[in-house]
């Protein structure tokens, strides 16, 4: 059966409904079906109440949809519906497995449009009033995760930049902190930990690299960790 629909990979942003782009909100309001991630909030789904909603959430440590199964669902939906939205937390092109979904859709000749979203690191910098770059202190930033593909099981190298932003940074960030200490980073290096960025239950912790290496309190939402001298509290900065 020939594919007739169009698929939109839409970035939902960090969580708050009013941080999605105008284009993303418009396309959600016109969607026939929406396949959404676990990190997409209920208030975001209110923007597409007219659509068929399909949860394809993927959360670390929890039962979740297989990526191949998600790809197959997208293809099948494109054969049934005119306007298909794949709604992803943050930005589709950053830690969103967009490459796998694009490749599957393109292999079947399905038209795809990508709608970018605000990635969590940028929202976290705004929420904490901590610029990721700072003149004379930090001029390079790396966004990274410790997650690896089955074909590449070895632990990835930590980027060598002034500011490090670790996505999905719960237990993995503890190991990162110890590796940085072993590599010679200052134990007093400032660290900012943000849980549930931009949401009503957002929580911010300011610690040091040495403290992080000893562990984090239990977290119940997505965690992002920012490390580096640019994370130092500025004079007169409200906390």
pLDDT tens figures, 198-228: 999 999 999 999 999 999 887 778 999 999 9
Map residue 88 onto helix, strand or coil.
Answer: strand
Which residues form the domain of 33?
6-115
| pLDDT, the chain, mean | 91
Q: What's the whole-model pTM score?
A: 0.89
Buried b (16+ CB within 10 A) or exposed e, 55-75: ebbbeeeeebbeeeebbebbb
58 is catalytic: yes
Select from 115, 150, 172 the last residue of a domain: 115
From the candidates 37, 154, 162, 217, which is the catalytic residue? 37
**What pLDDT, on the 0 to 100 scale, is given for residue 72?**
96
Catalytic residue among 6, 32, 58, 162: 58
Parallel/antiparallel/unpaired status of strands 83-88 and 223-227: unpaired
CB 33 within 8 A of CB 81: yes
Instruction: Give SS3 for 234.
Output: coil
User: Positive or negative CA dihedral for 16, 162, 227, 154?
Assistant: positive
Band (pLDDT 50/70/90 cuts) for residue 239 is confident
pLDDT of residue 149: 52
Is residue 167 a part of any domain in this protein?
yes
- pLDDT of 3: 54
The closest alpha carbon to 77, from 9, 14, 140, 4, belongs to 4
**pLDDT of residue 234 exceeding 80:** yes
pLDDT of residue 2: 52
Q: Judge whether 239 lies within some domain.
A: no
The residue out of 58, 90, 115 marking a domain boundary is 115
Name the band, by pLDDT with cuts 50, 70 and 90, for residue 4. confident
Over residues 97-132, the pLDDT tens digits come to 999 999 999 999 999 999 999 999 999 999 999 999
Do the Cβ atoms of 40 and 199 come closer than 8 Å?
no
Q: Specify the range with the lowest mean pLDDT, choosing from 39-43, 136-140, 189-193, 225-229.
A: 39-43
Residue 150 clears pLDDT 70, i.e. is over it: no
In the block, tokens 């957002």 appear at: 202
Domain count, the chain: 2
CA distance readout (Å), 165 to 8, 153, 223: 27, 21, 11
**Among candidate residues 115, 131, 159, the one where a domain is terminated:** 115
Query: What secondary structure letter does DSSP report for 81?
Result: -
Does 66 participate in catalysis according to the annotation? no
Q: Where are the alpha helices (DSSP H) in the chain?
A: 22-30, 42-45, 67-80, 98-107, 120-128, 171-182, 209-213
- The token duo for 93 is 């092109």
Residues 191 and 151 in one domain: yes
Indicate whether 67 and 155 sit together in one domain: no
Using alpha carbons only, give the angle 29, 35, 38 rounded to the nearest 5 degrees: 110
- What is the side-by-side order of every strand in the sheet holding 223-227? 141-144, 163-166, 223-227, 190-195, 203-208
- 124 and 226 both lie in a single domain: yes
Pairing of β 163-166 and β 6-11:
unpaired
User: What would the two tokens of residue 74 be?
Assistant: 């997208």
141 φ, ψ to 5°?
-135, 140
């Amino acid at each position: 059966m020939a594919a007739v629909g169009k698929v939109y990979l839409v970035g939902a942003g960090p969580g708050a409904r009013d941080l999605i782009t105008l284009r993303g909100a418009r396309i959600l309001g016109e969607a026939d079906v929406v396949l959404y991630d676990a990190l997409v909030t209920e208030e975001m789904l209110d923007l597409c109440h007219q659509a068929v909603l399909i949860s394809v959430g993927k959360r670390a440590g929890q039962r979740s949809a297989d990526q191949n199964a998600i790809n197959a669902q997208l293809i099948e939906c494109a054969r049934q519906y005119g306007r298909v939205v794949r709604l992803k937390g943050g930005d589709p092109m950053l830690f969103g497995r967009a490459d796998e979904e694009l490749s599957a859709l393109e292999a079947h000749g399905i038209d795809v449009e990508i709608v970018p979203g605000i990635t969590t690191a940028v929202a976290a910098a705004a929420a904490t009033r901590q610029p990721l770059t700072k003149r004379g202190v930090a001029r390079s930033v790396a966004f990274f995760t410790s997650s690896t593909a089955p074909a590449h099981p070895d632990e990835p190298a930590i980027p060598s930049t002034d500011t490090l932003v670790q996505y999905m940074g719960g237990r993995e960030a503890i190991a990162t902190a110890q590796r940085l200490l072993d590599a010679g980073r200052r134990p007093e290096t400032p660290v900012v930990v943000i849980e549930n960025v931009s949401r009503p239950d957002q929580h911010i912790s300011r610690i040091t690299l040495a403290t992080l290496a000893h562990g984090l309190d239990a977290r119940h939402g997505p965690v992002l960790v920012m490390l580096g001298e640019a994370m130092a509290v500025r004079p007169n900065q409200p906390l």
